[in-house]
Structure 1
Amino acid sequence: MVDISKRFGDFYANKHINLELRQGEIHALLGENGAGKSTLMNMLSGILEPTSGQIYLKGEAVQIDSPNKANQLGIGMVHQHFMLISAFTVLENIILGDEPTSGLLLDKASARQRIENISEQYGLRVDLDARVQDISVGMQQRVEILKVLYRGADILIFDEPTAALTPQEIDDLMLTLKALTQEGHSIIIITHKLDEIKAVADRCTVIRRGQSIDTVDVATTTANELANMMVGRNVVFQTAKEPAKPTEEALLVENLTVQDYRGLNAVNGLSFTVRQGEVVGIAGIDGNGQSELILALNGLLPIESGKVYVKGEDVMDHSPRAIYERRVGHIPEDRHRHGSILDMSVSENLAIRDYKERQFSNNGFLKEQAMDEHARELITAYDVRTTSEKALMRSLSGGNQQKAIIARELSVHPDVLIAANPTRGLDVGAIEFIHEEIIRQRNENRAVLLMSFELDEILNVSDRILVMYEGKIVADLPTEETNEQELGLMMAGTSYEEVLALRAEGSEG
């Protein structure tokens, strides 16, 4: 990609960027949220066309004016925001646009066999008959990866591919990426996770505010150097915090049972408490009931049995609105389905929680000026990169959509904050800021329940950790009494007692 620029009106999303991808390499693309990474890759995958510049493929100039043209040229992209049809099955989504036929009929049997072979080869198992609307974010990510592999792309672009994956799934994907390059594929991976870049990438191009900063060899560049190039300053990776001083109980869950879309118990007789002035982390492999638990606590999934109390008040079977009004904040796992309305403006999304309050409405009429002023304050405070508070939410990058949702939920200072993967898709500078904000909520005597697939995030921010396995809490322990290795064992089914025995054996050895 030579001297590539992309302009929207007077705004340059990309300005004179150069990017070279060699055959058989993994090339990382690193930059802050809103730096223009996805825009650049959308031009390579045919979703957008450059305002100026030229793309060359194997030395020949090419014009990529559609995703179909990109597919014909052997270029496929796994998007951060899934390009899936919710009402279709997994199988239908994978083959859509490239359907095999037998005579005049759709040949689903041969497609199924081919997809199952790819799934087995790369460890990307999914339920091909499940509807996309019923599967987890992690499963949807796998479907997107399978779509590209099914089409046999030579150049694969991965936009934040591990944002919704568990640590084990991330390790498996890294092995998959290496195996693909050994077979001659070339890969561009957009990621904010510096450890992943160090683990698999050969080279890394850093862009900041739409312009190239440098391309470096990963092996000879430290993670700190990459982070500093990305944000233009030193980044602190460990959040400073004083020991927690928890007070009274804020959230009480008793014998909770919640079913998944298949009618099976995803949460199975689960009980725990979260007190004011503490951060309680939930660690577990995706699919062990964490997602269903978070949705049920916020009124977005029905509860089969059990009780949920917020500051002593029973909120079981309350609507999401009623739970909000009990001063419960929710940073959802899926920012599109449960966190925002993409075709509303940033201003409207930032007021959508409290639009009925007198601050934003009068006798049923919205105070747009007050909403816009409120939005501008949050945009500045949380560094949400947008052209205007009037811009549609869908026009923001994924990371900036996430920052807007976090700004909305934290700005009301909820008594209980329930956060699911809050830093998904955020760059290291934004992660540093959000972790500090969560600790600030805790220090102001608020209760925080944090669910994250990032064990380093759980260990960094939490005061106490709950480990979930098969819908139950299998361990409840202070953060300082465990580590990533022990959490990984318990997440995989090893009992706490067995972990203690292993720890004792290790100390004796």
Structure 2
Amino acid sequence: MTAEHSSLELRGITKRFGALTANDHIDLEVRAGEIHCLLGENGAGKSTLMNVLYGLYRADEGEILLDGQVQRFAGPGDAMRAGIGMVHQHFMLIPVFTVAENVLLGHERELGGLSGAKQKVREISQRFGFDIDPDARIEDLPVGVQQRVEIIKALSQDAKVLVFDEPTAVLTPQETDELMAVMQQLRGEGRAIVFITHKLREVRAIADRITVIRLGRVVGEASPQSTSTELASMMVGRPVELTVQKDQPVLTDNQLEVRGLTVLDAIGQKVVNDVSFTVQGGEVLCIAGVQGNGQTELTEAILGLQHRARGAILLNGTDLLGRSVREVLDAGVGFVPEDRKVDGLVGDFSVAENLMLDRYRGEPFSKAGTIDRGARDSFAEEKMGAFDVRAQGIETPVGTLSGGNQQKVVLARELGRPLALFVASQPTRGLDVGSIEFVHSQIIATRDAGIPVIVVSTELDEVVGLADRIAVMYRGGVVGIVPSDTSRDVLGLMMAGERPADHAEGAAA
């Protein structure tokens, strides 16, 4: 790189999808030997911008420069040959291939065949202390190691610019720390690092410079010394409260007791393995863990969606296991699914129709099999106001709303009736900081009303903020249940399967 040029420069990048402008004349400069964080909420346009850089999308306007030279990429192959590597949020690996085979794929000639790929894996692994067997099959490797394979893929092509797109989404805290150390080592070698994230803690820990984008536009550059509150305000465009406000729990007699719950998948493997816990009314039990360790199947079993389940799920003494979803809902269970678009809403239905989805069969919404539109509409108007659902009106199709407003519709429906239990799975996934603040306040209000609350989240800051107690799941089992003030280091070890007996109750369960 010559002294007068940045390693990477994006000038006026604009990308449109129909009427939506995902990137609006974005300028970004990344220097060799720095970690430049691209910070913004989900949907702000970060990943679209990087997909333009990587040749996956073609910009409608603007240009890409590497070492001062304008580049034109017809696809990712061109970007890789120019020295750009990307570690994707969702790994681009073939599970049944070995590490070396994944590294070789598409680069057979440059690497000199499989033996050359194996040698390259060994060289890079030794340099970064990765300890990765070139002959190991991807599907047999932990998630954190798979991500290192992605890094090896990029470095095997001698990438000068490395893009990390939300790289910590599936990592434990310890794996996140290890990734940060690798990024710092890459920076020390003079590479330009683009780090895309929405996690303020990580940005402040590692960034040399920070560019904030909101709604497809650059809204400013921030210092790593900025407070989390200042960064969040730039992301959202208004002041926000990042700390969950809650008093000490006041427990009630309401109770959910899960005893020896086991759930089998389609081929008979245990995806939930002998799980037991109790949640009292007036407390929040957060279930933490890396995604894919049985959390989804656990919540589905509570709701009656898992039919290969055994054990007991006792709500105030009544066993819910084996009951239909309708019977579980009628028993007073409110449920926020992890994928609101697939399982929580009917996109073509109006806001009003979605708000009565699980209550249309009787009073007050129907009489003698006929929908009472007056009752439906007045309920919808009330809940839209109470939950700050921003839409043109109650007849607006819910699929046209933003993610945050869609989630508010789900919350309004589930919390808009008498409850004996509230279960929320990934309740703030894909939401901006302002919507997160609102969702958290509703969860705490439900807890303070004396209702048992279960929150499943992969966001450790959210878990620590909301929880009165934390249950950590690993490979289908509960490693232990610990107080909310348990250190992040201990929680991270538990998320990796360790059972710290000094901290966890029921660790042997």
- The TM-score bracket by the shorter chain reads 0.7 to 0.9
Distance in structure 2 (CA, Å) of the matches to 1:445 and 1:197 = 37
1:354 is the counterpart of 2:357: yes
Q: Which residue of 1 aligns with 2:455?
A: 450
Structure 1 pair 288–238 and aligned structure 2 pair: CA distance change class (3 A): same
Q: Which moved more, 1:294-303 or 1:453-462?
A: 294-303
Distance in structure 1 (CA, Å) of the matches to 2:349 and 2:145 = 28
Q: Which residue of 2 aligns with 1:412?
A: 414
Q: Which moved more, 1:23-32 or 1:190-199?
A: 23-32
Distance in structure 2 (CA, Å) of the matches to 1:201 and 1:179 = 13
1:244 is the counterpart of 2:249: yes
Q: What amino acid maps onto 1:466 in structure 2?
A: A
On the 8 A contact 1:22/1:186 being kept in 2, the answer is yes
Using the TM superposition, give the Cα deviation of residue 159 of structure 1 relative to its aligned residue in structure 2, in angstroms: 2.6
Distance in structure 2 (CA, Å) of the matches to 1:423 and 1:113 = 43
Give ranges in structure 1 of 5+ residues lacking alignment. Answer: 501-509
Using the TM superposition, give the Cα deviation of residue 222 of structure 1 relative to its aligned residue in structure 2, in angstroms: 3.2
The match for 2:80 among 56, 60, 71 is 71
**What's the TM-score, normalizing by structure 2?**
0.74
Distance in structure 2 (CA, Å) of the matches to 1:318 and 1:383 = 36
1:436 is the counterpart of 2:445: no
Q: Which residue of 1 aligns with 2:167?
A: 161
1:381 is paired with a residue of what secondary structure? coil
Q: What amino acid maps onto 1:170 in structure 2?
A: T
The match for 1:3 among 9, 12, 16 is 12
Distance in structure 2 (CA, Å) of the matches to 1:3 and 1:112 = 41
Q: What amino acid maps onto 2:22 in structure 1?
A: A
Using the TM superposition, give the Cα deviation of residue 197 of structure 1 relative to its aligned residue in structure 2, in angstroms: 0.7
Spell out, residue by residue over 1:80-124, the C-alpha distance to the aligned partner (whole angstroms, 9 max, x if none). 4x3769xx635399849935669xxxx889878877987895478
Spell out, residue by residue over 1:234-292, the C-alpha distance to the aligned partner (whole angstroms, 9 max, x if none). 32221112232332334321111234688554533221122333211124466764454
Structure 1 pair 229–326 and aligned structure 2 pair: CA distance change class (3 A): same
The match for 2:388 among 370, 381, 405 is 381
Q: Which residue of 2 aligns with 1:32?
A: 41
Structure 1 pair 169–389 and aligned structure 2 pair: CA distance change class (3 A): farther
Q: Which moved more, 1:286-295 or 1:374-383?
A: 374-383
On the 8 A contact 2:24/2:216 being kept in 1, the answer is yes
The match for 2:239 among 219, 234, 242 is 234
Using the TM superposition, give the Cα deviation of residue 326 of structure 1 relative to its aligned residue in structure 2, in angstroms: 4.7
Q: Which moved more, 1:143-152 or 1:199-208?
A: 143-152
Structure 1 pair 99–326 and aligned structure 2 pair: CA distance change class (3 A): farther
Q: Which residue of 1 aligns with 2:205?
A: 199
On the 8 A contact 1:163/1:424 being kept in 2, the answer is no
Distance in structure 2 (CA, Å) of the matches to 1:294 and 1:160 = 26
Distance in structure 1 (CA, Å) of the matches to 2:324 and 2:115 = 43
Structure 1 pair 472–31 and aligned structure 2 pair: CA distance change class (3 A): closer
Using the TM superposition, give the Cα deviation of residue 196 of structure 1 relative to its aligned residue in structure 2, in angstroms: 0.4
Distance in structure 2 (CA, Å) of the matches to 1:389 and 1:292 = 33
Structure 1 pair 11–271 and aligned structure 2 pair: CA distance change class (3 A): closer
Structure 1 pair 140–490 and aligned structure 2 pair: CA distance change class (3 A): closer
Using the TM superposition, give the Cα deviation of residue 29 of structure 1 relative to its aligned residue in structure 2, in angstroms: 1.0
Q: What amino acid maps onto 1:160 in structure 2?
A: E
On the 8 A contact 1:90/1:129 being kept in 2, the answer is yes
Spell out, residue by residue over 1:419-454, the C-alpha distance to the aligned partner (whole angstroms, 9 max, x if none). 334334544333322221211222344332122343
1:422 is the counterpart of 2:424: no
2:247 is paired with a residue of what secondary structure? coil
Q: What amino acid maps onto 1:25 in structure 2?
A: E
Distance in structure 1 (CA, Å) of the matches to 2:117 and 2:201 = 36
The match for 1:465 among 448, 467, 470 is 470
Q: Which residue of 2 aligns with 1:22?
A: 31
Q: Which residue of 2 aligns with 1:507?
A: none
Structure 1 pair 327–65 and aligned structure 2 pair: CA distance change class (3 A): farther
Q: Which residue of 2 aligns with 1:506?
A: none
Give ranges in structure 2 of 5+ residues lacking alignment. Answer: 1-9
Distance in structure 1 (CA, Å) of the matches to 2:420 and 2:222 = 46
Q: What amino acid maps onto 2:25 in structure 1?
A: H
Distance in structure 2 (CA, Å) of the matches to 1:90 and 1:28 = 33
Q: Which residue of 1 aligns with 2:65?
A: 56
Spell out, residue by residue over 1:204-251, the C-alpha distance to the aligned partner (whole angstroms, 9 max, x if none). 111223222222342x43333322222233322211122323323343
Larger radius of gyration: 2
On the 8 A contact 2:355/2:409 being kept in 1, the answer is no
Q: What amino acid maps onto 2:233 in structure 1?
A: N
Distance in structure 2 (CA, Å) of the matches to 1:260 and 1:115 = 35
Count of aligned pairs: 475
Distance in structure 2 (CA, Å) of the matches to 1:19 and 1:8 = 21
What is the RMSD of the two structures over their aligned residues, measured on CA atoms? Answer: 4.9
Q: What amino acid maps onto 1:440 in structure 2?
A: A
Distance in structure 2 (CA, Å) of the matches to 1:447 and 1:207 = 38
Using the TM superposition, give the Cα deviation of residue 345 of structure 1 relative to its aligned residue in structure 2, in angstroms: 5.5
